[in-house]
Amino acid sequence: MADCEYYVKTKMSASQCGSEFRLFEENAELLDMFTKFRDLKTKEQQTMSMELAEHATTVMTTLDEGIKGLDDMDVFLTYLHQVGASHTKIPGFNRSYFWKIEAPFLEAVKRTLEDRYTENVENIYKLTIKFIIETLIDGFDKAQNDKAKS
């Protein structure tokens, strides 16, 4: 995967984060969870928001770190479990929301890799993002269960 420059976030500036903004544009309920994003109702408002651009970058950085961590499964699992668990602090966050990043992430990879985006690369990234999301959900679920026990 290194040849495919999986560091997608480094290839995208705030103005190029179309896929990540689409995540919020198509899932307004996600924006409503964040006080600072609730008023961003139009695509133009979302595109102009530096805070939303920073959050989109954070999402992509998390995915990038997850991919880089695949070399060391202990680091990978620990990191993504912590990120998943941190989402239990967001009131109303549902574990299924993690799946909403799948399509925008794959679109960002495709756009970044351009002609290097082959069917094989697509399959690799589909498996990778699925594994990352499942690991985030595991961390979220464990934290929810720990909260329920205490």
* pLDDT digit string, tens, across residues 65-104: 888 888 999 999 999 999 999 999 999 999 999 999 999 8
Tell me: pLDDT of 63 over 80.
yes
Query: What pLDDT score does 100 carry?
Result: 93
Reported as half-sphere exposure (CB side, CA atoms, 13 A), residue 141 has a value of: 9
Query: What pLDDT score does 20 carry?
Result: 58
Place of tokens 């996600």: 30
* Residue predicted with more confidence, 23 or 142: 142
Task: Give one word for 33, left, alpha or beta, with left for phi > 0 and alpha for psi -120 to 50.
Answer: alpha
Q: Distance (Å, rounded) from C-alpha 71 to C-alpha 52?
A: 30
* pLDDT digit string, tens, across residues 90-148: 999 999 999 999 998 898 889 889 999 999 999 999 999 999 999 999 999 999 999 99
% of the chain at pLDDT higher than 90: 42
Q: How many domains, in total, are found in the chain? A: 1
Give the burial string for 14-40 (b: 16+ CB within 10 Å, else e).
beebbbbbbbbbeeeebbeeeeebeeb
* Residue predicted with more confidence, 125 or 37: 125
Predicted structure pTM score:
0.81
Q: Could you tell me the CATH number of the domain that includes residue 71? A: 1.10.490.10
Query: What pLDDT score does 8 carry?
Result: 43
DSSP string, the chain: -GGG---GGGG--GGG-HHHHHHHHH-HHHHHTSGGGTT--SHHHHHH-HHHHHHHHHHHHHHHHHHHGGGSHHHHHHHHHHHHHHGGGSTT--GGGGGGGHHHHHHHHHHHHGGG--HHHHHHHHHHHHHHHHHHHHHHHHHHHHHHH-
Query: What pLDDT score does 116 carry?
Result: 93
Domain holding 117, by residue range, is 2-149
In this prediction, residue 13 has a pLDDT band, given cuts at 50, 70 and 90, of very low
Tell me: pLDDT of 9 over 60.
no
Query: What pLDDT score does 139 carry?
Result: 98
